[in-house]
């Protein structure tokens, strides 16, 4: 096995571990915040179990948005990735451990728990985003590298939820303990990889200006935002819709969600490699059009079997779009600005995930599930249609990246 192939496997395992540890907390979040001291009589952030759970999740995503750029700037400015990933993973593990011991202390208010959650999120996003940046630094094809990241993300999300649910049944604090242990392992795993970051040192201002001079990065950022918005939509609204529309229980809902996650995770690497061969335009533009149509099909499905088939189709199409979109970031970014460029992509993705909660939940609650599916699926189709002229211009200016055979090397 070549060193780049070995490093690709290790880095994908690191991305998986970080995502898996994050998702472990989601299934039992209402029980977890109760164990962490969420009480309506003492905290305005915990008036209901839903409020406490929401603020606990929002605190982490807010930290992602606030600090992902800081990590990217620090890495690009110093020409190093590994020390920051180790620091972020170890500090994130300490953050999970601090949350785990908070109930034993008995004097930590829920507001203090939210502050700890912000600190943990600020550290964890550094390990996650910079590991993806290290995948960008590898040779062998940007689509393949981002496909490996996509498999890790998909599997982490797919497996983290059921395992987290089991851990919560054992002890509500157990997901925090396991998550902290996994992040400590990340610090050791990443030390096995060569740091291929460009050694050129630049000031933070020069890096930001460099990315700002590349407005074409807004294209994959926009697609990343909408794609993550659909993921957030399915995580919240999709789950409730299946249970209310079809009367299925939690186990059957999990199987329906697995119809999406399984192909979405397992096909990312071959789909990413395909985009290296045929270019990014077809997987992103045509894939997004079909992906949006697939979301509409899920919302219109009259029965569980048809909904399951539609979810499989959406998973396949999502696997076509996601790695090509991340690979386009690598194609367009300068080698010395990849940390900042990927930070921008993850920033857009985090905002998209929050948008999926807010847009989907608001429309479904105020109007109907059917309209919510129409809005979210329509957004995916609209971004593809709007982006066609931009892709045409890019194809003319950079055919080696967007046409057939584009992006074969780092």
Instruction: Let me know if residue 399 belongs to a domain.
Output: yes
Give the per-residue pLDDT at 397.
Answer: 54
- Encode pLDDT of 23-34 as tens digits: 888 777 778 888
Asked whether residue 156 falls in the same domain as residue 270, the answer is no
Segment of 117-131, 164-178, 182-196, 271-285 carrying the highest mean pLDDT: 117-131
The CATH code of the domain that includes 29 is 1.20.1250.20
Asked whether residue 174 falls in the same domain as residue 228, the answer is no
Q: How confident is the model at residue 50 (pLDDT cuts 50, 70, 90)?
A: low
Q: How confident is the model at residue 262 (pLDDT cuts 50, 70, 90)?
A: confident
Average pLDDT over residues 323-335: 84
Average pLDDT over residues 228-255: 78
Q: How confident is the model at residue 408 (pLDDT cuts 50, 70, 90)?
A: very low
Angle at CA 229, nearest 5°, toward 224 and 230? 105
Q: How many domains does the chain have?
A: 2
Question: Is the predicted pLDDT of residue 207 greater than 70, yes or no?
Answer: no
Q: How confident is the model at residue 177 (pLDDT cuts 50, 70, 90)?
A: very high
Asked whether residue 160 falls in the same domain as residue 290, the answer is no
Question: Is the predicted pLDDT of residue 379 greater than 80, yes or no?
Answer: yes
Instruction: Let me know if residue 36 belongs to a domain.
Output: yes
Determine the straight-line distance between the first and last CA of the chain, rounded to whole angstroms.
Answer: 19
Whole-structure pTM value = 0.76
Instruction: Let me know if residue 186 belongs to a domain.
Output: yes
Asked whether residue 137 falls in the same domain as residue 277, the answer is no
Asked whether residue 84 falls in the same domain as residue 230, the answer is no
Asked whether residue 173 falls in the same domain as residue 151, the answer is yes
Give the per-residue pLDDT at 310.
Answer: 94
Last residue of a domain, one of 179, 201, 223: 201
Q: Answer whether 18's CB lies under 8 Å from 128's CB.
A: yes
Q: How confident is the model at residue 92 (pLDDT cuts 50, 70, 90)?
A: very high
- Encode pLDDT of 211-240 as tens digits: 566 778 888 888 888 888 888 788 767 777
Give the per-residue pLDDT at 373.
Answer: 93
Asked whether residue 230 falls in the same domain as residue 169, the answer is no
Instruction: Let me know if residue 208 belongs to a domain.
Output: no
Please choose, from the candidates 22, 76, 377, the residue with its C-alpha nearest in 3D space to the C-alpha of residue 226: 377
Asked whether residue 280 falls in the same domain as residue 385, the answer is yes
Give the per-residue pLDDT at 395.
Answer: 62
- Rounded to an integer, what is the distance from CA 163 to the centroid of its chain? 19
Average pLDDT over residues 118-144: 88
Asked whether residue 228 falls in the same domain as residue 176, the answer is no
Give the per-residue pLDDT at 394.
Answer: 67
Last residue of a domain, one of 173, 201, 229: 201
Q: How confident is the model at residue 101 (pLDDT cuts 50, 70, 90)?
A: very high
Asked whether residue 285 falls in the same domain as residue 401, the answer is yes
Higher pLDDT, 280 or 91: 91
Asked whether residue 26 falls in the same domain as residue 61, the answer is yes
Q: How confident is the model at residue 406 (pLDDT cuts 50, 70, 90)?
A: very low
Tally of residues, the chain = 410
By percentage, how much of the chain surpasses pLDDT 90? 26
Q: How confident is the model at residue 124 (pLDDT cuts 50, 70, 90)?
A: very high
Asked whether residue 1 falls in the same domain as residue 122, the answer is yes
Give the per-residue pLDDT at 308.
Answer: 92
What token pair was written down for 352?
């998209």
Q: Answer whether 57's CB lies under 8 Å from 319's CB.
A: no
Mean pLDDT, the chain, integer: 83
CA dihedral 127, 77, 136, 341 (to 10 degrees): 90
Residue carrying structure tokens 């910079």 = 130
Structural domain boundaries enclosing 348: 213-410
Give the per-residue pLDDT at 211.
Answer: 57
């Amino acid at each position: 096995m070549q060193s780049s192939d070995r490093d690709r496997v290790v880095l994908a395992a690191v991305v998986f571990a970080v995502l898996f540890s994050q998702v472990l907390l989601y299934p039992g979040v209402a029980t977890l915040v109760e164990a962490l001291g969420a009480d309506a009589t003492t905290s305005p952030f915990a008036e209901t179990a839903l409020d406490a759970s929401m603020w606990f999740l929002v605190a982490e995503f807010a930290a992602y948005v606030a600090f992902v750029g800081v990590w990217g700037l620090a890495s690009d400015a110093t020409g190093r990735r590994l020390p920051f990933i180790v620091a972020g993973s170890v500090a994130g593990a300490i953050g999970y451990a601090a949350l785990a011991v908070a109930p034993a202390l008995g004097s930590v208010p829920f507001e203090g728990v939210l502050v700890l959650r912000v600190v943990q999120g600020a550290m964890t996003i550094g390990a996650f985003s910079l590991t993806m940046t290290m995948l960008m630094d590898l040779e062998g094809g940007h689509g393949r590298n981002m496909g490996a990241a996509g498999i890790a993300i998909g599997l982490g999300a797919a497996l983290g939820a059921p395992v987290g649910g089991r851990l919560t049944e054992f002890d509500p604090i157990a997901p925090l303990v396991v998550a902290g242990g996994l992040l400590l392992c990340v610090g050791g795993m990443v030390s096995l990889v060569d740091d291929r970051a460009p050694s050129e040192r630049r000031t933070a201002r020069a890096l930001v200006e460099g990315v700002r001079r590349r407005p074409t990065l807004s294209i994959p950022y926009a697609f990343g935002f909408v794609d993550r918005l659909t993921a957030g939509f399915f995580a919240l609204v999709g789950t409730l819709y299946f249970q209310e529309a079809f009367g299925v229980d939690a186990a059957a809902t999990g199987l329906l969600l697995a119809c999406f996650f399984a192909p979405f995770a397992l096909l990312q690497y071959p789909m990413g490699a395909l985009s290296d061969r045929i270019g990014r335009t077809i997987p992103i533009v045509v894939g997004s059009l079909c992906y949006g149509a697939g979301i509409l099909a899920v919302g219109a499905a009259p029965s569980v079997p048809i909904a399951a088939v539609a979810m499989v189709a959406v998973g396949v199409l999502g696997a076509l779009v996601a790695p090509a979109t991340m690979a386009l970031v690598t194609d367009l970014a300068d080698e010395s600005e990849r940390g900042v460029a990927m930070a921008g992509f993850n920033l857009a993705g985090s905002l998209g995930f929050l948008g999926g909660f807010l847009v989907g939940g608001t429309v479904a609650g105020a109007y109907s599930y059917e309209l919510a599916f129409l809005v979210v699926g329509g957004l995916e189709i609209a971004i593809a249609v709007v982006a066609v002229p931009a892709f045409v211009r890019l194809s003319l200016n950079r055919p080696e990246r967007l046409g057939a055979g584009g992006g074969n090397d780092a």
